[in-house]
Structure 1
Amino acid sequence: MDDSSQHDHSGWEEVVHAARERARARQSLMVERFGLSGDVQYHWSLDDARIAWSREEKVFLTGRLTLIGSVSLAQQTWLWSWANESLPRTVRGDIERVRRFGEANDYPVLPWPGFDYHPELVAEARMVAASVLDAEGLWVDSTDDAQLHFLVHDLVLAADSS
């Protein structure tokens, strides 16, 4: 992306506002509908881009993941998954669409491979990614040195949990 391109700040604010409202509604529905609070455990895999939620060691819900990006806690930086070639292709999913959306609409934060970590900017980027990729929800997990930010898609109740 050409750094001299004009950023449409008011357009970005509108996109973020609409994406945030959509994500909040979908996130709330996902948590309520599937009971994703309380004593819920989860396990995710980057290799097969899947997440599974369980109670008492019994899986009750599965879904597909797209890794949006990661925050390096040590360096305080954000890196989009589309810019991280070390990730399995499966977990990057269609994240390139988010980069292209940013390029097409002159929203620089989306096609920048990475940037200094600012919680609000990361939140905005996540919400817009969720909207562009029509995610059912968002999920965050932390390791010792990173935060991983995911989109959740294609949720399916386990056959014996209905």
Structure 2
Amino acid sequence: MDDRSKHDHSGWEEVVLAARERARTRQALMVERFGLSGDVQYHWSMDDAQIAWSRDGKVFLTGRLTMIGSVSRPQRSWLWSWANESLPHPVLGDIERVRRFGEENDHPVLPWPGFDYHPELVAEARLVAASVLDAELLWAESTGDVELHFLVHDLTLTAG
């Protein structure tokens, strides 16, 4: 779908506003509840779609990752994970639901495979994806010229 003439702008703004408030509240609560600041280390893997946080070498929290998409800094572009054939299947999670939500609600930025990088539009797309997939956290990782954007689900405290 690349029909850029169809777009419910006011509907998009409402969805983004609700998603932004949801993420702000949930993100702050999870960081505080699980102590995800300070001397915390983490390890993540796209192959098994997992992230683990540790302190003093002991894992205390795990979660499941869904990759939302990536930003190529040299190309100044965003690519949705559902459109990236090089990703391991587990890290895609239910990302197709975000694409379908965009199609069903005339929010074309969600079903476009990619778009020119605009920081605010990327932020909005991430927030809406987090809301649609009921994520507990948004998370990003920069590697060289690429920013990887993820959702974190199913946070579980471990006995570690």
Task: Supply the distance in 1 between the matched residues of 2:110 and 2:155 (Cα, whole angstroms).
Answer: 26
- Residues in 2 aligned to 1:21 and 1:73: alpha-carbon distance in whole angstroms: 28
How many pairs align? 160
Q: Matches of 2:96 and 2:30 in 1, distance apart?
A: 25
**How big is the shift at 1:43?**
0.9
Deviations for 1:10-33, whole angstroms, at most 9, x for unmatched residues? 000000000000011110011000
Question: What one-letter code is carried by the residue in structure 1 that aligns with 2:72?
Answer: S
Secondary structure in structure 1 of the residue aligned to 2:38: coil
What is the aligned-residue RMSD (CA, Å)?
Answer: 0.9
CA distance in 2, matches of 1:35, 1:159: 15
Superposed structure 1 runs of 4+ greater than 2 Å apart = none
Give 5+ residue unaligned stretches, structure 2: none
Q: Deviations over 1:27-54 (max 9, x none)?
A: 0011000000111111110000000011
Shift in Å, 1:2: 4.7
> 2:106: which partner in 1?
106
8 A Cα contact 2:98 2:133, kept in partner: yes
CA distance in 2, matches of 1:2, 1:121: 16
Are the counterparts in 2 of residues 5 and 106 from structure 1 also a CA contact under 8 Å? no
Structure 1 residues not aligned, in runs of 5+:
none
Q: TM-score, normalised by structure 1?
A: 0.96
Residue-by-residue CA offset, 1:86-115 (whole Å, 9 max, x unaligned) = 101100010000000000011010000001
Mean CA deviation greater in 53-62 or 122-131: 53-62
Q: In the alignment, residue 88 of structure 2 is paired with which amino acid?
A: P
TM-fit CA distance, 1:159: 1.4
Equivalent residue number for residue 124 of structure 1:
124
Deviation at 1:58, TM superposition (A): 1.1
User: 1:24 matched to which residue of 2?
Assistant: 24
In the alignment, is the contact (CA less than 8 A) between 1:78 and 1:115 conserved in 2?
A: yes
Q: CA deviation at 1:57?
A: 1.4
Distance 1:28 1:21 in 2: 11
Matched position secondary structure for 2:156: strand
Q: Distance in 1 between matches of 2:2 and 2:53?
A: 42
Distance 1:98 1:54, change over 3 A: same
